[in-house]
Amino acid sequence: MLKQIVRRLGTAVPSLIGVVIVTFLLTRVLPGDTAAYFAGPAATPQAIAEIKTKLGLDQRLPVQFLAYVKDLATGNLGMSLTTGQPVFEDIRARLPASAELTLLGLLLSVAVSVPLGILAAVRQGSWIDHLCRVVATAGVSLPVFFTGLLLVYVFYYKLGWAPAPMGRLDFIYSAPDTVTGFYLIDSLIAGDVELFRAAWSQIWLPAVTLAIFSLAPIARMTRASMLSVLASDFVRTARASGLKPSKVVMGYAFRNALLPVITTLGMVFSFLLGANVLVEKVFAWPGIGSYAIEALITSDYAPVQGFVLAMAILYVLLNLAIDILYGLVDPRVRIEA
């Protein structure tokens, strides 16, 4: 198992090198002159040149690249010109916020969509199958900012069940000591139930927004995968052996149907993590998506590079986790690895 993990990590090295090169080049060819932006509209050409020199932007590209790689190797992702903080610190503070939100959203989504998909497959053509189709289609066809605003309108403005959408915690609370960076978990570790409640009341609305959006791919994939497995020979054998329907569906069919569902989960997760900018904006969530967008708009290279790099590493780890999960679910995968 360890061998497999090490080998899988090894295959990720070339793609990471590629990401480093591409992020470097991409940010350099983007339109917009950083130095000019920071010097302000009234800056003299002299002042701009000065800033260029300070940032090393007057050097030739290969030299800039070498400097960039050297910095990376020492864990220095550069300074964000917008926040004035080291990019590494910014990402470390914001990535857990995004990850917590995305994971919770995905968890809620799985809790609904997987059972829905299974039921839709087992009772194909029944009302629950149609419900599954309607819910999934509706969820994916409404833009997240719309669902988000709708939920805020209903649950905050009309019903008052949720606090104002103002970030991870109400200002009267202070964040728990950082262990995992996830407020829900950290507050429990600290034994502070009230803080947990406060964090929960902030996170559940955006999480539900994300969940609604990601219902469709997971529910549809579960249904399709279950349908094909339920029609296979070994399910017939299980039924002919008199096994209970619950055993046939969950023990035999579902475990076999799991592989494509896990693949979809991985894809949805990595997609949401980077793409939930709109949800972060609507709920003033201090996440990594909105951070990257702001940096991009101001032609602030370092945070954009840091963001892409962090995402790439995360993606590699995620794929590794999925591969390991495959191996746990399907013994045939273990052999091939």
Partner 1 sequence: MNIHAGNMSAGVNNMQPPLLEVRDLTVEFATRRGTVQAVKQVDLTLAKGETLGIVGESGSGKSVTSYAVMRILDRAGRIAEGTISFGGVDIGTASEGQVRALRGREMSMIFQNPRAALNPIRKVGKQIEDVLIEHVQAQPGDAKEKAIEVLKAVRIARPEERYHAYPFELSGGMCQRIVIALALACRPQLLIADEPTTGLDVTTQKAVMDLVVELTRERNMSTILITHDLGLAAAYCDRVMVMEKGKVVETANAEAVFRAPQHAYTRKLMRATPRKGVTLRDLLPEDAAPAAPAPTAPVEGAGTPLLIVENLVKEYPRQTPTSGMAGLFGIKGAAADPFRAVDGISFSVARGESLGLVGESGCGKSTTSMMLMRLVDPTSGRIVFKGEELSAIPAKRFAGSKWRSRIQLVFQDPTDSLNPRYTAARAIADPLMQMGSGLSGKALRAKVEELAGLVGLPVHLLDRFPHQLSGGQKARVGIARAIAPDPDLVILDEPTAALDVSVQAVVLNLLQDLKQRLGMSYIFVSHDLEVVRMLCDRVIVMRTGRIVEEGATEAIMAAPKAEYTRELLASIPHPPI
Stretch that binds partner 1, among 41-49, 148-156, 240-248, 298-306 (CB under 8 A): 240-248
Angle at 270 between CA 264 and CA 272, to 5 degrees: 95
Cβ atoms of 80 and 161 within 8 Å: the answer is no
Instruction: Using CB under 8 A, pick the residue from 63, 251, 297, 317 that binds partner 1.
Output: 251
- The full 3-state SS of 88-120, as one line of letters, equals HHHHHHHHHHHHHHHHHHHHHHHHHHHHHHHHH
Site size toward partner 1, by CB under 8 A: 27
Cβ 129 to partner 1 shortest distance, Å: 12
Cβ 220 to partner 1 shortest distance, Å: 20
Under the criterion CB under 8 A, does residue 250 sit at the interface with partner 1?
no
Residue 301: other Cβ atoms inside 10 A: 25
Of 146, 145, 144, 298, nearest to 211 by C-alpha is 144
Instruction: Using CB under 8 A, pick the residue from 1, 236, 250, 317 that binds partner 1.
Output: 236
Q: At what angle do helices 301-329 and 2-29 cross, to 10 degrees?
A: 150
Stretch that binds partner 1, among 30-38, 58-66, 216-224, 252-260 (CB under 8 A): 252-260
Under the criterion CB under 8 A, does residue 242 sit at the interface with partner 1?
yes
Local structure of residue 178 (DSSP, 8 states): P
Closer by beta carbon to partner 1, 8 or else 281: 8
Under the criterion CB under 8 A, does residue 256 sit at the interface with partner 1?
yes
* Contact set for partner 1, span 43-102 (CB under 8 A): none
What is the Cα 76 distance to its own chain's centre? Answer: 24
List residues near partner 1 by CB under 8 A: 2-3, 6, 124, 231-234, 236-244, 247, 251-252, 255-256, 329-332, 335
